[in-house]
Amino acid sequence: MEQLNQEKDQKLNESWDEITRNNAELEQQRQQLELALLQIAQREQESLKEKEDLSNFQKQILLQQEVQQQHDSLNSNNPTIHLNAIYKYILVILLQPSKNNIYFNNSRGQ
């Protein structure tokens, strides 16, 4: 009877050791799965960020193209815009009193 109890205790201890090992393995697998899920979530966030950056870049390109088209259409419709701007700039420079402006220097000196 005593021997039978010892055999049962030994089998019970062996079973307990196996359960403990299995639990440790399962815990390790659980931690690996959590890490894998975190890595997947991180990659997904990076992918979303890249898609958002690409979308913003595409919007920026479209906006630049629209501005360029508007600029081109203004220039093609009215080529004198640039000449008018140049004339106005020259007039502003000429009409500003300065030491180097011969028109003002001559008119004041005489």
Residue linked to tokens 């979530």: 41
87 band by pLDDT with thresholds 50, 70 and 90: confident
Decide if pLDDT at 98 tops 70.
no
- 104: Cβ–Cβ under 8 A, 6 or more apart, which residues? 97, 98
At 110 the pLDDT is 46
What contacts 101, CB < 8 A, 6 or more positions away?
A: 94
Task: List, as one string, the DSSP characters of 40-90.
Answer: HHHHHHHHHHHHHHHHHHHHHHHHHHHHHHHHHHHHHH-THHHHHHHHHHH
More confident residue, 90 or 13: 13
Q: Mind listing the pLDDT tens digit for each residue in 24-64?
A: 999 999 999 999 999 999 999 999 999 998 888 888 888 88
